[in-house]
Chains A and B, each alone.
Chain A
Amino acid sequence: MSTTIAPPAARHGIPPGLRAARRTATAATGESAIARWILIGIALAYLFLFLGLPLFVVFEEALKKGVGAYFTALRDAELLHALRLTLLVAGIAVPLNVVFGISAAWAITKGKVRGHALLVALADLPLAVSPVIAGLTFMLLFGMQGWFGPWLRAHDIQIAFTVTAVVLATIFVTLPFVARELIPLMEEQGVTEEEAAVTLGASGWQMFRRVTLPNIRWGLLYGVVLCNARAMGEFGAVSVVSGRIRGQTTTLPLHIEILYNEYDFTAAFAASSLLAMLAVVTLAAKHLLERSHHAARARLIQEQQEKQP
């Protein structure tokens, strides 16, 4: 995060106004002006090269044949299906992983569960293995020739090459994001606030709802954003398990690749621009949530200062 030098407690405990003040203070006392400008220059160039330029090129390519062609490409039935599927998959995977992430982080940090380390390692697994391998493993389990193949066939259930497989693979790949964000945060916060809540008569749910959740909400929001970005953008694992059935199991990233391989660049980049816009919307939503919170907070502090002589 931004202030790596500050002790962990400072990251979440200090109100944003104070945090900003501290940052300018260190900037003013630290390195010389020239060094600072060079650093800022490097960072900006880097951002432009690796973030700005690609984003620009996407829209540039998409609009090359004119706005009309762009919107025609966007109205394509298969593309719209891919968009809906992507939203559906993210809409299932993200909430499930939020529930899983909170439960796992709770069990690891606050509950006195044995085998913490194993649980942490398991939750990290999807980050460590390549998504393609994850997809292949998945096929080995649920494919018709796989371990559960005979059982699935006997019960007339098909998983491989269906939307179900796409959802399951996405859940697997995005599983660590929320948990990883919350574990260090909850570790650092300890259990005393929860204990205080319990001695004051709060039920388990009240304790979670009124004490734990508000304390982790920003970390949780960040985890959700990461999880969502990955869920909507996942390619490797989904590519393997979906069978890439056009108009059925192709998510946006898969559809983009198909269009690209067919040299349909306008359509490919139009679809890419959709994906990019989804990402921007996610980030904007996060930003707005944080800002409205901070504004409410600042208002409260100001009202209070006005009340005092």
Chain B
Amino acid sequence: MSVALERVSKRFGEFVALDEVTFGVDEGELVALVGPSGSGKSTLLRVVAGLERQDAGAVRIHGEDAAPLGPGDRRIGFVFQHYALFRHMTVFENVAFGLRVRPRRERPSGSEITSAVKDLLQLVELDALSARYPSELSGGQQQRVALARALAVQPRVLLLDEPFGALDARVRKQLRQWLRQLHDEVRVTTILVTHDSEEACEVADRVAVMHEGRIAQIGTAADLLRETANPFLGAFLADSPRPSASAKRIDYH
């Protein structure tokens, strides 16, 4: 088990954002997390990353209890919904950041960093834009930079919070296929949060559906579509892609 959550709970004041979530992801697996807005998907990722502390329960990464580890020690790659690229750094420097901040003993040399970053930029097909600043990139390009930056630290686990949420339908579709290919190449354990159940079913090995701070159901896309045990779940999966989202997207064309 690459990532395991055991009865993890998280409250914000009175509000229960995660309610005894138990959930595991296998080594090299890509699991999609779907669910309506406010169901706790981002909170779950942030707890795994260590950006938020759970109130109860345990997070294990490769069997090791993550409680004593800060977010920087968990070897996690996090891709934020709105990219969160460093706006004052070039694409190259963004990707190099994780290597440059290593303690001196573990830090690669300048030329090693350069070649590692070049490889990554090639992987995400952005080597031509390495001197640009984030504000000079399209949304899809920014997202790929964010991905390369997260991969640079050779994470044991990759956490993607609605990575394609802010992109239009066509780019979204391309990027999701590209992500799947990338995952087949790199094979890093990945949790992908998305609003779009079609996206989840297409990309992921397994899909977990969250509802009100709990994992309502988990299984392969085929499993989930077959057994719509939970009436809410049936509605959610049938509703794909969600009308509000597609209505918004039409404006872009």
A196 contact from B80, B131, B132, Cβ within 8 A: B80
B77 at the interface (CB under 8 A from A): yes
Q: Is the CB of B49 within 8 A of A199?
A: yes
Q: Of the listed stretches A52-60, A176-184, A208-216, name the one at the interface; the rest are far from the partner chain.
A: A208-216
Docked pose: A198 CA to B26 CA in angstroms: 25
Q: Is the CB of B102 within 8 A of A201?
A: yes
**Inter-chain contacts of A261 with B (CB < 8 A):** none
**Inter-chain contacts of A196 with B (CB < 8 A):** 78, 80, 84-86, 149
Docked pose: A196 CA to B88 CA in angstroms: 14
Q: Is the CB of B88 within 8 A of A200?
A: no
B235 at the interface (CB under 8 A from A): no
**Inter-chain contacts of B100 with A (CB < 8 A):** 210
Docked pose: A192 CA to B80 CA in angstroms: 8
Q: Is the CB of B51 within 8 A of A199?
A: yes
Docked pose: A13 CA to B133 CA in angstroms: 10
Chain B count of residues within 8 A CB distance of the other chain: 35
**Inter-chain contacts of B80 with A (CB < 8 A):** 192, 195-196
| Known contacts A201-B101, A203-B101; A193/B71 CB under 8 A | no
User: Which of A169-227 touch B at CB < 8 Å?
Assistant: 192-193, 195-203, 206, 210-211, 214-215
**Inter-chain contacts of B152 with A (CB < 8 A):** 200
A288 at the interface (CB under 8 A from B): no
A5 at the interface (CB under 8 A from B): no
User: Which of B150-172 touch A at CB < 8 Å?
Assistant: 150, 152-153
A111 at the interface (CB under 8 A from B): no
A303 contact from B82, B131, B133, Cβ within 8 A: B131
- Report B97-119 CB contacts with A as 1/0, cut-off 8 Å: 11011100000000000000000
Docked pose: A192 CA to B149 CA in angstroms: 14
A15 contact from B82, B86, B133, Cβ within 8 A: B133
Docked pose: A307 CA to B100 CA in angstroms: 26
Name the residue of chain A whose CB is nearest to the CB of B106: A201
Closest 7 CB pairs of A and B: A200-B98, A192-B84, A304-B131, A201-B72, A196-B84, A199-B78, A202-B101
Sample of 24 A–B contacts (CB below 8 Å): A14-B135, A15-B133, A15-B135, A15-B136, A192-B84, A195-B80, A197-B101, A198-B51, A199-B49, A199-B50, A199-B74, A199-B76, A199-B77, A199-B78, A199-B150, A200-B97, A201-B153, A203-B72, A214-B89, A215-B87, A215-B88, A300-B90, A301-B131, A303-B131
Additional 7 contacts, C-beta under 8 A, given A195-B71, A214-B88: A193-B84, A195-B51, A196-B80, A197-B86, A198-B51, A199-B49, A215-B87
Q: Mark A residues whose CB is within 8 Å of B.
A: 13-15, 192-193, 195-203, 206, 210-211, 214-215, 300-301, 303-304, 307-308
